[in-house]
Amino acid sequence: MSLPAFTLNNGVEIPVLGLGVFQSSPEETTAAVAEALRVGYRHVDTAAAYGNEREVGQAIAASGLPRDEVFIETKVWPSDYGYDETQHAFDKAAAKLGVEQIDLLILHQAAVSMFDRTIDAYRALETLLRDGKVRAIGVSNFTPAALTRLLDVASVVPAVNQVELHPYHAQKDVQQADSDLGILTQAWSPIGGITFYPGFGDERRSVLQDPAIAEIAAAHGKSPAQTMLRWGIQQGRSVIPKSTNPERIAENFDVFDFELAAEELGRIDALDTGVRSGPDPDRVFTEQMLFPIPEA
Ligand SMILES: NC(=O)c1ccc[n+]([C@@H]2O[C@H](COP(=O)([O-])OP(=O)(O)OC[C@H]3O[C@@H](n4cnc5c(N)ncnc54)[C@H](OP(=O)(O)O)[C@@H]3O)[C@@H](O)[C@H]2O)c1
């Protein structure tokens, strides 16, 4: 099966579904990426800050797939923001990944308290794009206000904005701003990982346990995770579920043989609480987050 794709605002194609590797240890990452490629995934989303770019690259190389058949996305961490620093961040990422060119390179956060450096980092992405070192550039965790500030000075509209997005936090305002600007919204935690994995507070409610989603899933003989991925893809969002478990890697990819009805999409839309489970992009950035990203 050839994987359906979205066309980015510069004509580059991105598979609608990819594998996320946040919190995949380096040891687990190689096997997870290898298994994902084996079952048909052709897109991996990593980040300098995840500490597993090397293992992502090794698994892709070992798969024997031609380089242009796998879409590699990674992120620059704020400690590498600044024009020269971000150019060097590309060199580090490409060397760890073992590639000459990165398909999509994005800024991990807006880093609002040092927005000038964020802008300089984005200018470096624009240069990398012009030089053909990356095929597309983008941002992550950008609010509509941060997008406006960026676009006041940027010459290239980001291709992608990767944000927390699952049925309990659909960020309609961000989706609208992205679509008005021609930016593809990419959902992180597309099956709501941030609503149940450890470390983000006990008051959260797992969207994976939601009764309405369970009911819709059962009607299609699918799982809640598959139903949420289908909701995202049918509404035009890129989804990048993370798993290191072979059964769940396969399950999350098995979403191309059913379709949710408009009424079912609407029922899932209605679950939005307007409350995020992850960090607030306007507050998340602190000096403690400026940990160094190792050289390749
Ligand atoms: N830009 C950012 O700031 C940002 C932030 C967070 C995430 N991300 C990106 O988005 C990707 C996905 O988001 P995420 O990792 O936060 O959350 P997610 O993909 O929504 O959920 C991942 C969690 O769900 C479990 N899981 C996976 N498939 C499942 C299934 N079919 N049924 C039940 N549980 C399942 C995983 O455990 P197992 O591994 O044990 O299956 C893991 O605990 C990340 O890996 C990363 O690439 C970006």
Measured in angstroms, how far is the CA atom of residue 116 from the centroid of ligand 1? 31
CA of 155 to the centre of ligand 1 (A): 33
Q: Which of 19, 22, 207 to mutate to test the pocket of ligand 1 (most atoms within 8 A of CB)?
A: 22
Alpha helices in the chain (DSSP H): 26-39, 53-63, 83-97, 115-130, 144-153, 172-181, 211-219, 224-234, 246-253, 262-269
Task: Give the list of residues 6+ apart from residue 227 with CB closer than 8 angstroms, or none.
Answer: 213, 216, 217, 220, 260, 268
- If you take atom 21 of ligand 1, which residue's CA is the nearest one? 193
Cα-Cα end-to-end distance for the chain: 35
Q: Report the residue among 140, 189, 222 best suited for mutation to probe ligand 1: largest number of ligand atoms under 8 A from its CB.
A: 189
Q: What is the pLDDT of residue 43?
A: 98
Q: Pick the residue whose CA is nearest to atom 11 on ligand 1.
A: 20
Alpha-carbon distances, residue 69 vs 14, 40, 66 (angstroms): 11, 11, 6
Query: Hey, what CATH topology would domain 5-269 get?
Result: TIM Barrel (3.20.20)
Q: In which residue are the tokens 């995934």 written?
A: 41
Task: Enumerate the β-bridge partners of residue 76.
Answer: 107
Structure tokens of 102?
Answer: 């990165």
Phi, psi for 44 (deg, rounded to 5): -125, 135
In order, the DSSP letters of 52-77 are -HHHHHHHHHHHT--GGGSEEEEEE-
Name the token pair of 278. 């992850």
* pLDDT value for 167: 98
Distance (angstroms) between ligand 1 centre and the Cα of 152 equals: 33
CA–CA gap between residue 158 and residue 179 (Å, rounded): 11
Give distance in angstroms: CA of 188 to centre of ligand 1: 8
186 contacts 162 by C-beta, under 8 angstroms:
yes
CA distances in angstroms from 39 to 34, 35, 133, 293, listed in the order given: 9, 6, 29, 31
Beta pairing, strands 19-20 & 71-76 = unpaired
Burial tier of 203 (Cβ tally within 10 Å: 0-12, 13-18, 19+): exposed
Q: Whose CA is nearest to atom 6 of ligand 1?
A: 188
* Domain segments of the chain as ranges: 5-269
pLDDT (tens place) for every residue of the chain, 296 residues total:
678 999 999 999 999 999 999 999 999 999 999 999 999 999 999 999 999 999 999 999 999 999 999 999 999 999 999 999 999 999 999 999 999 999 999 999 998 888 999 999 999 999 999 999 999 999 999 999 999 999 999 999 999 999 999 999 999 999 999 999 999 999 999 999 999 999 888 789 999 999 999 999 999 999 999 999 999 999 999 999 999 999 999 999 999 999 999 999 999 999 999 999 999 998 866 677 789 999 99
Q: What letter represents residue 230's amino acid? A: R
- Beta strands 19-20 and 13-15 are unpaired
pLDDT at res. 284: 67
- Can you give the pLDDT at residue 203? 84
Distance CA 23, CA 198 (A): 11
- What are the pocket residues of ligand 1 if the criterion is a CB atom closer than 6 Å to any ligand atom? 20-22, 45, 108, 140-141, 162, 188-194, 197, 208, 223, 225, 240-245, 248, 251-252
The pLDDT value recorded for residue 192 is: 98
Whether 107 and 125 have beta carbons less than 8 Å apart is answered as yes
283 DSSP assignment: T
